[in-house]
Structure 1
Amino acid sequence: MKTTINISILTIAIGGLIWLLTACSAAPAETPIVTVSIEPQKYMLEQITGDKVDIRTLIANGANPENYDPSLTHIMNLRKSIGFLRMGNIGFEAALLDKIRQEDPELPIFNTSEGVVPVTGTHSHGHGHGAVHHEEIDPHTWTSVKNAKIIVRNMLDAMVKIDPSNKDYYRRNYERFAQRLDSLDRDFESRLASHAGEHFMVWHPSLSYFARDYGLEQITAGNAENKESSLTMLRKTIDHADSHSASIFFYQKDLDSRQAEVLSDQLGLRKVSINPLSYDWEAEMCAITDAITAD
């Protein structure tokens, strides 16, 4: 009787062990993490990767990249990533790269704006009265369909390197998205052709590449840091906008200075709210084009 009980217990124990091993082996593998800097990058990368990777963004929608300081959580997420696809010229990225290389020198890092012809001068700054002003590269490379074609190609190359097992899947998705970008670009070119040479106003210089793409002129009312402008600078901006018949004021309601609304009201401009850091990158690009071609 005792022997029979012991055999039964042993049988149950072995069965439980087999079930446990089977359950563990059947558990889905953890989805690899890839980190990007901003939400528009996440949108673009998802068009290529689908559900093959978990894409994490350093800057959540609504944050200001001009004064952003990555938290410890963001650093930890980066350490879990199989790759970091940075935007390229956003200020906080340079400081972050030093931290990453100290914490995880083996983490693959890719500049997704590599190959984009830069715009300079929009974020110029000096250090004190009479100092030489240094021209920095405008970081808003993603606010351009033409640039997006380069960015997503860089993303494809990055994913093929860090996850070669899915390279064929990534390439198929890339080809579809590249065709979509070509279609968008042709549509924008056709609709904006008759508006070439027109001026529009922004507070923060976020549409430099878009303006360059389609022969438009961006008048910057504020500055790269979204700080208050002097009365002298505002007067010059008003005169400049008047002389070039600007009719639209693009503003970021959560980030722009309170002077932005006052200025647009004084000029009688049509105000259009934009969010260059929105996840829905394509919708933002279409909304900007719609606003300019509405007149």
Structure 2
Amino acid sequence: MQKYLYIILLSALTLACGSGTRNNNEGKRMLTVTIEPQRYFLDQIVGNAFAINTLVPPGSSPETYEPAPSVMVDMAKSDIYFMVGDLGFENAWSKRLAENNPNVAIVNCSEGIERMEGYDHSHDQEHDHAHDHDHHHGDITAHVHAHSGVDPHVWSSPRVVKVLVRNMLEAVVKLDPDNEETFRTNFDTLSVKIERTDSLIRDLLKDAPSKSFIIYHPALGYFARDYGLHQISIEFEGKSPSPSQIKEIVDVARKEKINTIFIERGFDTKNASVIAQEIGAEVFEIDPLRYEWDEELLRIAAILAHKANEYLR
């Protein structure tokens, strides 16, 4: 029964979506977003009222990406640029955009979201998480020394996304008040989808054999926090880990009986494979930047619940 519920939900969630470049955009006003999940949200709200341009192409990292001059030209044609809020290149490039193109409104989609600190981190071998497991569920800083970095991956949590999409809604309503009723109706439909996605994730994770997982790049911090999970990153301050750091990860993984390792699309699988072999875990490729935002989060939850075969991408 549950398997069929996933299929029905996914069909409903993707009816109005498209993952490719829009057709019939000639003559339409343009909006620009940083990443594909934002385009998914905006598509749901505005429908076909605007052409939507995504800055970071699939397979690229938004934290190291630098827009080409041609991309900046397209941005300058937009009525609004929706920045995620804390991704690497956004602040510098949005300032340049504002200086050179004052007619482009810049919206910080993370406005009003309580961001997680301690994004740049290293592993702390001394803390025995196994003796205090429940206390640290969702605490991304367990086994880490927290630094001052802010985690920018706000779209990984449906609860947080509710704030993000409302910021997008209010911006397009201000831009195009004649279509306010349509936008708000679409927003209400999107909100229901977000709630249902959240509910299904919670249902899936009830059956997860472990509340901890390893991930190469720590892109699921908000997801982990809001679903009582523990995320352990392989990457060390944006770099590949040293042999001693890999050993620390392996030691923690054995204590917590971790059997799932995630690696994001486009990242080197070598270190993840080494750790997987040491602890007997399985490596899964995920894509947190995928346009089909809801499907990918459900897929991640299904993997953690060991129900991946029931939920194939």
For the superposition of Structure 1 and Structure 2, which TM-score range results when normalised by the shorter chain?
A: 0.7 to 0.9
Distance 1:278 1:194 in 2: 25
**Matching residue within 304, 308, 312 for 1:292:** 304
Query: Any residues of structure 2 matched to 1:43-82 within 5 Å, and which?
Result: 43-82=40-79
CA contact under 8 A between 1:195 and 1:216: conserved in structure 2?
A: no
**Matching residue within 252, 264, 269 for 1:240:** 252
Aligned-residue offset at 1:177 = 0.7
Q: Report the more deviating stretch, 154-163 or 262-271.
A: 262-271
Structure 2 CA distance for partners of 1:42 and 1:182, relative to 1, 3 Å: same
Distance 1:29 1:68 in 2: 28
Where structure 2 has 5 or more consecutive residues not aligned to the other structure, the ranges are 1-24, 123-144, 308-313
The answer as to 2:190 corresponding to 1:193 is no
Aligned to 2:279: 267
Letter matched to residue 136 of structure 1: G
Aligned-residue offset at 1:89 = 0.7
Letter matched to residue 279 of structure 2: L
Please list the CA deviations of residues 199-234 of structure 1 after superposition, one character each: whole Å capped at 9, or x if unmatched: 111010011111111101111112352x22111111
**Matching residue within 154, 160, 165 for 2:167:** 154
Distance 1:164 1:237 in 2: 52
Distance 2:293 2:237 in 1: 21
Aligned-residue offset at 1:134 = 4.0
Distance 1:260 1:201 in 2: 9
Q: Which protein, 1 or 2, shows the higher relative CO under an 8 Å CA cutoff with sep ≥ 6?
A: 2
Distance 1:183 1:83 in 2: 29
Output the aligned Cα RMSD.
2.0
Aligned to 2:267: 255
Aligned-residue offset at 1:187 = 2.0
**Matching residue within 211, 223, 229 for 2:236:** 223
Distance 1:133 1:172 in 2: 42
Aligned-residue offset at 1:117 = 1.8
Distance 1:29 1:98 in 2: 28
Distance 2:61 2:197 in 1: 28
Please list the CA deviations of residues 227-279 of structure 1 after superposition, one character each: whole Å capped at 9, or x if unmatched: 22111111111111111111100112412453222222222111111011111
Aligned-residue offset at 1:160 = 0.7
Where structure 1 has 5 or more consecutive residues not aligned to the other structure, the ranges are 1-27, 126-131
Distance 2:249 2:74 in 1: 43
Aligned-residue offset at 1:58 = 0.5
Letter matched to residue 280 of structure 1: E
Distance 1:196 1:117 in 2: 29
Identity rate of aligned residues, in percent?
33
Letter matched to residue 62 of structure 1: G
Aligned to 1:209: 222
Letter matched to residue 100 of structure 1: L
TM-score, length-normalised on structure 1?
0.83
Aligned to 1:103: 100
Structure 2 CA distance for partners of 1:254 and 1:189, relative to 1, 3 Å: same
**Matching residue within 287, 294, 305 for 1:282:** 294
For the pair shown, the structure with the greater C-alpha radius of gyration is: 1
The count of residues paired between Structure 1 and Structure 2 equals 261
Structure 2 CA distance for partners of 1:34 and 1:121, relative to 1, 3 Å: same
Aligned-residue offset at 1:190 = 2.7
CA contact under 8 A between 2:210 and 2:304: conserved in structure 1?
A: no
The answer as to 2:165 corresponding to 1:168 is no
Q: Secondary structure at the match of 1:91?
A: coil
Aligned-residue offset at 1:133 = 7.5
Distance 2:209 2:152 in 1: 23
Distance 2:209 2:178 in 1: 46
Letter matched to residue 46 of structure 1: D
Aligned-residue offset at 1:120 = 1.4
Letter matched to residue 57 of structure 1: T
